[in-house]
Chains A and B, each alone.
Chain A
C-alpha cells in the first residue's frame, strides 16, 4: 500500500521561484523513507504540500490513499509532523503543550494525559516537564516536537530535519529515538541534508535536488551505488611507482584518485562489483611491491558520493533533462510502480559516458 503518492507535484512561488518541479514520489507502508537533499532543494515544501499547509501549483498529492487538502483535518489526524526548528507556544510547559495538542486531536483528556506522560518519558523530558518551552534548548524542543507528533500514534510520521541545529550527541540521541519509533507498521519520512543521519535508520531513500527527485530506491541499493568503486589504501614503500600505475587499474581510465600522504583514495566510475575493484587494487599493490597498511571502502564515502551526485546534478544540465524525460515517460501510467531510478542515465553517469542523443533533443527544449 502506498502511504504517500505524488504525481507531477509542482510548486511555484509568486510566479518566480520553482520550489518543486513535477515531483513523482512514492512511499510504501512500513518504510522509513529518507528524503535527502541540500538546503532549498524542496524538502520542506514537499512536506507542507503533503500536510495540506500549501496548495500545489500543479499535480496531485495523496496521503494514506486520499487526496490531501487544507480542510482534510481527518487525514491529518492520522499523521504526525515535526517541522524544522519547530515554533511552539513558548509560554506553555511540555505538559501544557501536549495537552493542547491532545485537545486539537480530539483525544479524551484522560487518554491524552496517559499518552503524554508516556511520551515525555520516551523522549527523556520527564524531569523538564514543569519548565516553560521558552527555556528549552533546540534539542529539547525537537524532542517535544517528536512527542507532539506521536500524540495520536500516527500511521505516518513526517520529520523535517529532526537533527537540525543539534550537536553530535543530540543528533545521536534523536536518531536513536527515531530508530525506536520505527516499526509497528508505522511509515516514517525523514528529511535531512545530512546523509549519515538517514543512513542509520532508513530503509528507502529519495535524493531531491532543485525540486526534483533525482534518485529514489531502497537504502541498500543506494549504499551499494554510493560505495561502488571507492577504495582507500594506505601503503608504504615505492609510492611513486604505485601512483604511476594507478591509471592502469581501469582499461578505460574511468576512475579518479587522490593522494594524501601515504593514503590513496581511488574511485572507480564503472559499474562492476566492488570486489573486482578491490582485487585489482590488491594486485597492483602486489605488482608494485608496496606494503599494504590499511584498506577500506570508507564509511564516510556514502555522504561524499551523495554530495558528488548533487554536484553532478547541479553542473550537468543533461542529467536534469534525463530526469525530466524519464518522469515524462512514467507519468500517467504504472502508478503503483516505484519512481524511476533512471538506470540507464545512472549507469552512464557512473561510467562517465555521455547520455544518448535523444536526451540531447530534450535539452534543446
Chain B
C-alpha cells in the first residue's frame, strides 16, 4: 500500500508538471470562457451552446490528450520503471494500479473541473435556458465515461506496446473507426458520433426514454473501462521488463 501511494504521488506529480496537461487545461478553459461570454450576449439556446462546445472543443481536444497521456503511462517510462521502480519492493499490481488511478483520475478531474463550471455558467447566463438538470448531468456523465474509457484503453495498450506514439495512434484510430464498426454490429447508439449528435437533446431531456438512453451508454462505457483496466493488469503482470 505504501508503494502504491508513493507511486500515485509520483505519477500525479509527473502529470501536474506535464506541459501537455497544462496546455490541455488552458485550451479547454479559454474557449469555454469565450463561449460563456457569447452565450450571455446572444440568443442561443443553452443546450445547443453546451453541446456545441463539448462536441467541437472538449471532446476532440480531450480525446487527443487523453489518448497520448494514457498511452504513455507505461510505455514511455519502461526503462525508468524497470531500473528505478519495479526492481525495488514494488509489485506489478501496485505499479499498474497507481498508473490507472492517476491517469483515469486526471481525466475525470480535468473533465469535471472544466465541464461542470462551464455547464453551470452556460445555464446561469444563457438568455434561452432550455436545459434540464437531469439532462445536463446525464449528458456530462455520458461524455465523461466515454473519455474515461478512452484513458483505460490507452493504458491497456501502453502495457502491451513499447511504443507510446503507436499506442496513442491506435487509440485515436479506434475512436475514429468505431462508428462504422458499431454500425456494423448494430450498436450505433454507442458511437461517439451518436452520443455527440444527441447531446443537445439529452441536455434538454428531449430524447425518448432519456434515463434508459443515458444509463445504457454509461453502463457500456463503464464495463469497457473495467475490461480495459483488467486487461492492463493481466498484460502487465506477465510482461518482461
Closest partner residue, chain A, to B3 (CB atom):
A104
Residue A70 lies at the interface, judged by CB distance under 8 Å to chain B:
yes
B5 / chain A contacts, CB cutoff of 8 Å: 103
Q: Are A101 and B88 in contact (CB under 8 A)?
A: yes
Residue B26 lies at the interface, judged by CB distance under 8 Å to chain A:
no
B87 / chain A contacts, CB cutoff of 8 Å: 51, 53, 76, 81, 83
Residue A65 lies at the interface, judged by CB distance under 8 Å to chain B:
no
Q: SS class of chain A's interface: helix, strand, loop or mixed?
A: loop
A55 / chain B contacts, CB cutoff of 8 Å: 238, 240
Pick from B6, B14, B83, B90 the residue with the most CB of A within 10 Å.
B83
Residue A87 lies at the interface, judged by CB distance under 8 Å to chain B:
yes
Within 8 A of B (CB), among A100-133: 100-101, 103-106
Q: Are B83 and A86 in contact (CB under 8 A)?
A: yes
Report Cα–Cα, A168/B15, bound state, in Å.
39
Residue A334 lies at the interface, judged by CB distance under 8 Å to chain B:
no
Report Cα–Cα, A81/B85, bound state, in Å.
10
How would residues 79 to 94 of chain B score, 1 for a CB under 8 Å from any chain A CB and 0 otherwise? 1101111111111111
Q: Are A71 and B240 in contact (CB under 8 A)?
A: no
Residues of A within 8 A of B (CB): 48, 51, 53-55, 70-71, 73-74, 76-77, 81, 83, 86-89, 91, 97, 100-101, 103-106, 148, 152
Q: Are A70 and B84 in contact (CB under 8 A)?
A: no
Tally A-B pairs: CB < 8 A.
79
Q: Are B88 and A88 in contact (CB under 8 A)?
A: no
Closest partner residue, chain A, to B84 (CB atom):
A88
Q: Are A54 and B240 in contact (CB under 8 A)?
A: yes
Rank and list the top 8 A-B pairs by shortest CB-CB distance, nearest first.
A103-B6, A77-B89, A87-B79, A54-B240, A83-B83, A73-B89, A106-B2, A81-B87
Nearest chain A CB to B214's CB is how many angstroms away?
40
Report Cα–Cα, A70/B7, bound state, in Å.
17
A54 / chain B contacts, CB cutoff of 8 Å: 240-241
Q: Are B241 and A73 in contact (CB under 8 A)?
A: no
A97 / chain B contacts, CB cutoff of 8 Å: 84
Q: Are B240 and A104 in contact (CB under 8 A)?
A: no
How would residues 1 to 34 of chain B score, 1 for a CB under 8 Å from any chain A CB and 0 otherwise? 0110111011000100100000000000000000
Q: Are B82 and A53 in contact (CB under 8 A)?
A: yes
> With A51-B87, A55-B238, A148-B84 in contact, is A106–B3 under 8 Å at CB?
yes
Report Cα–Cα, A88/B82, bound state, in Å.
10
Report Cα–Cα, A76/B10, bound state, in Å.
20
Residue B216 lies at the interface, judged by CB distance under 8 Å to chain A:
no
Nearest chain A CB to B82's CB is how many angstroms away?
6
Pick from A74, A76, A97 the residue with the most CB of B within 10 Å.
A76
> Contact check: which of B94, B237, B238, B241 meets A53 at CB < 8 Å?
B241
Nearest chain B CB to A301's CB is how many angstroms away?
35
Within 8 A of A (CB), among B119-163: none
Q: Are A53 and B240 in contact (CB under 8 A)?
A: yes
Within 8 A of A (CB), among B49-104: 79-80, 82-94
Residue pairs across A and B with Cβ atoms less than 8 A apart, 8 shown, are A48-B240, A55-B240, A76-B90, A88-B80, A89-B80, A89-B84, A103-B6, A104-B3
Report Cα–Cα, A51/B85, bound state, in Å.
12
Pick from B9, B82, B88, B89 the residue with the most CB of A within 10 Å.
B88
Closest partner residue, chain A, to B2 (CB atom):
A106
Report Cα–Cα, A91/B77, bound state, in Å.
13
Report Cα–Cα, A77/B94, bound state, in Å.
14
Q: Are B80 and A73 in contact (CB under 8 A)?
A: no
> With A55-B240, A73-B89 in contact, is A89–B83 under 8 Å at CB?
no
